[in-house]
Amino acid sequence: MTDSSTALVFKSNLTTPSNTVLSTLALFHLPGVGATRYHKLIEWFGSAEAAVSGDRKLLNAAGVKPDAVKLLDDYLLNGLDSDIGRLIARDLDWAEMPGNDVMVIDDHDYPPLLKHIDSPPPVLFIRGARPLLGEPQLAIVGSRNPSIDGKENAYRFAKAIVNVGMTVTSGMALGVDGAAHRGAIDGNGHTVAVVGTGADITYPARHRALSTEIVERGVILSELPLGTQPHPSNFPRRNRIISALSLGVLVVEASPKSGSLITAHCALDQGREVYAIPGSIHNPMARGCHQLLRQGAKLVESSEDIFEEISSLLAFHQLMRNESTLPPSINSSNANSSNTNPSITNSPSADCSSIQLTADLFTSEQIDDTQALATDLTESEKALLGFLGYDVVSVDLAVERSELSAEEVSILLMSLELKGLVQSVPGGFQKVRDSITA
């Protein structure tokens, strides 16, 4: 048996995993036992091993259903040949594959900042370099359908952040997330992707190549069981981990219903800093950032605005690392006391634990701008419109972005203007506010 604090890598040259690891995985796979109930069981029984073999009436009183208790009894009797045991065996087999890892909350490498939040995940599934999870991180999040300027900002800020030695953390979604991961990689830095699926699932599929690069230069992380498919309710859970791992959260572009605002409010609930980039008043994807700024988020116009706070962020990181052995109740109070934006945490949606995990939170973010536009657009018009932002874009810049000729761009811009989707302004053209129906 290995000690419970031994790094759980499960490579072929390691000994059998400890009872702590096996018992934690057994509770993790019990139906109806999420992170909150898991920690309640630990509080009542003192350890995962004691909970697995503990008084059955007490398990029922702690909220474990009778059918789940029967599964535990079967596991104690038949081990890895039981229903729960087979799930554990799958986890261990997966962890034996190169680059894969399973980490339980008692592991000495468990990220200290994540351990400080209310009901931290009892199990983490990891692809990549697990030590990075304990390094200073800054989250960069935003719309799945950003303007081209928003995408460029995410890329540029990520590239700058890794150049000062911090790791960029995001959610591997389309749009801002993908641009942030790409910027970190192109900047020869490290990046962490927290996903809303099982760690063995690549979502979205078009990020398959990006996910491979992330594993090579960072970490893909999930608290969800292997094989978990994408579902709207998974992503708020994912967002709370993104913010918890990070010293601060930078929101690049977001609509008022964006999941990125969930990440921001979780960050404040966890005592983290929130930064937001302002945008054009005509850009619906800037309204979420403007909302955060009105509520007290720190306005960011360049990476230097964040660099000015690096020292205080790193000091906070060291403080949290030093307190990693404190009881969760003390950790939680310390984290909350560091919150410098009470106006945001007092807002109705600020409590991360009370967020409604409903599909409507994601509706506006899952619809591409061009899908809501007039149906009579040609493919060329749709493509060019995607290259235009809500700020002024010159014809030369539109040519550069689209890789079309100046004549082709001019004809397309004229057509889009006649259809009321762009307007001519001093210095070039810009997308108009009413071009999106959402």
Q: Which CATH number covers residue 428?
A: 1.10.10.10
Same domain, 189 and 326: yes
Same domain, 250 and 387: no
Query: Average pLDDT by consecutive 10-residue portion of the chain (438 residues)?
Result: 34 58 97 94 96 94 94 95 96 95 94 92 97 94 92 96 95 96 98 98 95 97 96 89 96 90 91 92 89 93 85 74 50 40 42 42 36 62 81 85 84 80 81 50
Same domain, 394 and 348: no
Contact 289, 253 (CB under 8 A): yes
Same domain, 86 and 160: no
Question: Is 247 within a domain?
Answer: yes
Question: Is 429 within a domain?
Answer: yes
Q: Which domain holds residue 192?
A: 130-353
pLDDT tens profile 36-94: 999 999 999 999 999 999 999 999 999 999 999 999 999 999 999 999 999 999 999 99
pLDDT at site 192: 99
Instruction: List residues bridging with 424 in a β-sheet.
Output: 429
pLDDT tens profile 263-322: 999 999 898 999 999 998 888 889 999 999 999 999 999 988 888 887 777 777 777 666
Last residue of a domain, one of 305, 328, 353: 353
Question: Is 86 within a domain?
Answer: yes
Same domain, 254 and 375: no
Distance CA 178, CA 211 (A): 10
Distances 311 to 66, 336, 340 between C-alpha atoms, Å: 52, 20, 16
Same domain, 153 and 86: no
Question: Is 116 within a domain?
Answer: no
Question: Is 104 within a domain?
Answer: no
Distance CA 168, CA 249 (A): 10
Distances 229 to 233, 257, 346 between C-alpha atoms, Å: 11, 23, 34
Same domain, 287 and 414: no
Same domain, 41 and 78: yes
pLDDT at site 410: 82
Question: Is 226 within a domain?
Answer: yes
Same domain, 379 and 337: no
pLDDT at site 424: 79
Last residue of a domain, one of 306, 323, 353: 353
Question: Is 50 within a domain?
Answer: yes
Last residue of a domain, one of 353, 385, 411: 353
Same domain, 189 and 327: yes
- Determine whether 129 is exposed, middle or buried from the number of CB atoms within 10 Å of its CB (0-12, 13-18, 19+): middle
pLDDT at site 352: 62
167-170 vs 191-194, strand pairing mode: parallel
Same domain, 314 and 382: no
Q: What is the CATH number of the domain that holds 248?
A: 3.40.50.450
Question: Is 112 within a domain?
Answer: no
Same domain, 185 and 273: yes
Domain count, the chain: 3
pLDDT at site 367: 35
Alpha helices in 96-186 (DSSP H): 112-115, 148-162, 176-186
Contact 421, 385 (CB under 8 A): yes
